Amino acid sequence: MMNIDEIISNLKSLDLKQYPSAEIKTNLNKIGEIGYVINILHKGYELIRLRPNWNGETFSDVSELSYKPQQYNKTYQRASTPNKTMFYACSNQNDNPNANKIIGRATALGEGFPIIRDINALGEWKVTYSKWVVQQDIPLATICFNKYFNTKYPDFEFVYDSFQAYLKNYPQHKDRTLKITEFLAQEFSNPNPTDKTDYLYSISAIFSEIVSEKFDGIIYPSVRTIGEGINIALKPSVIDTGKILCEVVAECIVTRKSKDDVAVTNHSVAYLKNGQKQFTLKKCN
């Protein structure tokens, strides 16, 4: 089994601008046995997605709000490679009584609407939110070792501390697990790459591709909300098999009048039942 410090050193030494995907995958596959934090999304758990309505477009089919079709999936993203698209969404944290009631929508806005990240961008835009609800248990690998994010989100801090305590029972895996997960947590927190610098996501993306062979996806803190939000990336098969269904679609108006004055107003909505695919938005009263 290869020394974990050597693996991490090899990964850090790669020139990611050259897109060394084969070398990244080779080194990640040499990690061997490590412990994983497993998070299970149970029936009723809610996820929020956002898609901007560019050029006045409107949507009427769930497929338009789901994962990016593989033929259009050309870049590395935080948890997906050009070879494997993923369904990205943000947790509504409806299992956390202390969570902000709008955290799902706020996280989705920061993650899915790049304009809003520019504090100098003022104006009015249309976006479409969709709420997806888990129908069957979905097991996920969890990235929870960014120490700064753990202080922002108590549940991650609890998992972080509990996992370290758990690993004391497996001394043969503890050192390797902690080192590689802390390294990967840093990779998942890389800030703001563009399509031209998507290589900054290549290590976290290829790791997600490998992990998704064992689990339905991956869960990690939102960089856009400094760890307060939670992102989830699921394999397309999870959506295709109905483990999670779209239940609400809302077309909304995002208005920004100043740096700190951002409002989201519902414009029209549709409620879906039993895996319904097509919908007609009705204007809110």
In angstroms, the CA 150 to CA 41 distance is: 20
What percentage of the chain exceeds 90 in pLDDT?
Answer: 58
* Whole-number pLDDT of residue 145: 62
11-34: per-residue pLDDT in tens?
999 999 999 999 999 999 998 877
* Whole-number pLDDT of residue 226: 60
- Of the given ranges (4-8, 112-116, 152-156), which has the lowest mean pLDDT? 152-156
For the chain, give the mean pLDDT. 88
Output the pTM of the full model. 0.89
In angstroms, the CA 216 to CA 6 distance is: 29
Burial degree of 172 (CB within 10 A; 0-12, 13-18, 19+): exposed
Rounded to the nearest 10°, the torsion over CA 77, 235, 87, 111 is: -50
Domain assignments of the chain as residue spans, ordered by start: 4-283
Tokens in use for 82? 């050009």
45-101: per-residue pLDDT in tens?
999 999 999 988 999 999 999 999 999 999 999 999 999 999 999 998 887 777 778
* Whole-number pLDDT of residue 175: 84
In angstroms, the CA 154 to CA 2 distance is: 34
* Whole-number pLDDT of residue 165: 77
